[in-house]
Amino acid sequence: MAKRAVVNASEFQRSSGKMLKRVAVAKEHLVVERDGYPVAVMMPFEEYEQLMRERALAAHRDLVVTLGKEAERKGLTEEQLVEELEASKRRVYEERYGRSRR
């Protein structure tokens, strides 16, 4: 677990270079507060990228589960579900661009 520190916004303004170094080199997480309320978090970029990848995977899993349940509810086969998704993609494309890709 990364070390975590809380700094106020005015301290961050005065010492942003030092704060960036703490985050980059020491891999510290900094919570920036203004008037006693947390407003931002600084963390190493690699951790941020990993967090975003994990969120995208979780969203993808949720979508797959939801689609599977909806297909099951409708009694669709996998092939029918794929056909329905392709038809939806074509409709969205045509609404957005006004013509078919084919």
Confidence at residue 7, expressed as pLDDT on a 0 to 100 scale: 94
Confidence at residue 8, expressed as pLDDT on a 0 to 100 scale: 94
CATH architecture group of domain 4-43: 3-Layer(aba) Sandwich (3.40)
pLDDT per residue over 1-58, tens digit each? 778 999 999 999 999 999 999 999 999 999 999 999 999 999 999 999 999 999 999 9
The interaxial angle of helices 78-97 and 45-74, nearest 10 deg, is 120
pLDDT per residue over 70-90, tens digit each? 888 889 888 888 888 899 999
Contact 65, 59 (CB under 8 A): no
3-class secondary-structure state, position 87: helix
Enumerate the domain spans of the chain.
4-43, 47-97
